[in-house]
Amino acid sequence: MTRASTSTRVFVYGTLLSGEPNHRLLRGARLIGPGRTRPRFTLHDYGPFPALASGGKHSIKGEVYEVDALMLAALDRLEGHPRFYERTPIALDGAGCVEAYLLPKERLADRPIIESGCWRRHRKERKQW
């Protein structure tokens, strides 16, 4: 990523995490480090991926990356922004404001809540069922 390009910090919490299937889209992005939301969100199990919604009481665990405009456009395509997920600025606990992909609450009716706020932990626990 060139420094001359416009960069955006993005919080990822599911299939874009390092080691997860969609992480390849972040190849070349700068890892800022681990991140955690303030306890104002809910993470839902949407089957093969999680969905983040505002207005909860959980702190969600993830990673923060700095991406350029082309990479952000690729992430928007993957997430179906703005028709499916909505890219929204959120405040992280102690790390400032970043962009995150949130799903509108009306799409989350009857979807199980991931109480731990951690997609990786949830997937491990789910495999043990």
**Is residue 1 domain-resident?**
no
65-81 CB burial, b ≥16 within 10 A, e <16? bbbbeebbeebeeebeb
pLDDT in tens, 56-112: 999 999 999 999 999 999 999 999 999 999 999 999 988 789 999 999 999 998 999
Residue 61 belongs to domain spanning: 7-127
**Is residue 84 domain-resident?**
yes
What integer pLDDT is reported at residue 4 of this predicted model? Answer: 46
**Is residue 103 domain-resident?**
yes
**Is residue 2 domain-resident?**
no
Return d(Cα 62, Cα 85) in angstroms, integer.
Answer: 17
Domain at 41, CATH number: 3.10.490.10
Is 79 annotated in the active site?
Answer: yes
For 7-20, what is the mean pLDDT? Answer: 97
**Is residue 25 domain-resident?**
yes
pLDDT in tens, 24-52: 999 999 999 999 999 999 999 999 999 99
Q: What is the DSSP letter of 25?
A: G
Task: Give the total number of structural domains in the chain.
Answer: 1
For 4-12, what is the mean pLDDT? Answer: 87
**Is residue 80 domain-resident?**
yes
Question: pTM (2 decimals)?
Answer: 0.92
What integer pLDDT is reported at residue 5 of this predicted model? Answer: 63
Instruction: Indicate if the pLDDT at residue 2 is higher than 60.
Output: no
Which of these is catalytic: 63, 79, 86, 115? 79
